[in-house]
Amino acid sequence: MKNIVLFGPPGAGKGTQSTNIIEKYALIHLSTGDLLRAEKAAGTELGLKAKEFMEKGDLVPDSVVIGMIENKVKANPDANGFVFDGFPRTIAQAEALDQTLQENGLSISKMIALEVDDDELIKRLLERGKVSNRPDDQNEEIIANRIKVYNAETAPVADFYKKQDKFTSVKGIGSIDDIFESLCKVIDQL
């Protein structure tokens, strides 16, 4: 079982690399951002609630995302493992994830952080905004808020896994293939 938290700021490349990882290692991709956008697109009550937060670049309340992840873990008892992308984003989420995994006889193998500096992130997000149709990618103020929220609330989640000796990082700048190779070197050792 390989249960990986792919970590890093908005625009670090978590979504792109998650897609590569799940294909190579036959894991299940759990992206809270994708799940929330799907709820929003379907017009569910949860989606409508999440929309307000997402469009400002704020975090959706912990209880909402924790519930979504719990359901997905429970719904996939035969999985080879999971790649958590965009989750956990707060210490409370990290604690809840540990608990949920434990209840299902599982645990996190590793958190792998993609390291990218702020200037590169802003550039990438604005580029993505031109094609993604994501309202939160199209406005520099919202992007700046997402990075601020990341630094304040999400960056400390790395310490949570450092304390458990489960943290490592790779350089997130370079070609997609080179970054994937760095990630595979870590994952192959799990």
Q: How far is the CB of 177 from ligand ADP (least distance, A)?
A: 21
13 near ligand ADP, rule: CB under 6 A? no
Range in contact with ligand ADP (rule: CB under 6 A) among 38-46, 85-93, 155-163, 170-178: 85-93
The torsion angle over the Cα atoms of residues 98, 159, 7 and 12, rounded to 10 degrees, is 160
Query: Is the bond into 77 cis (omega within 30 degrees of 0)?
Result: no
How far from 128 is each of 13, 48, 72, CA to CA, in Å?
11, 23, 28
What is the torsional sign of CA 73, 101, 89, 165? Answer: negative
84 near ligand ADP, rule: CB under 6 A? no
Q: Contacting ligand ADP (CB under 6 A), which of 4, 30, 57, 157? A: 57
Range in contact with ligand ADP (rule: CB under 6 A) among 31-39, 98-106, 160-168, 169-177: 31-39
How far from 82 is each of 73, 106, 119, 145, CA to CA, in Å?
8, 10, 30, 29
105 DSSP assignment: T
Contact set for ligand ADP, span 113-172 (CB under 6 A): 136, 146
Range in contact with ligand ADP (rule: CB under 6 A) among 52-60, 101-109, 163-171, 180-188: 52-60
- Residues at the site binding ligand ADP, with contacts judged by CB under 6 A: 10-11, 32-33, 36, 53-54, 57-60, 65, 86-87, 89, 93, 136, 146
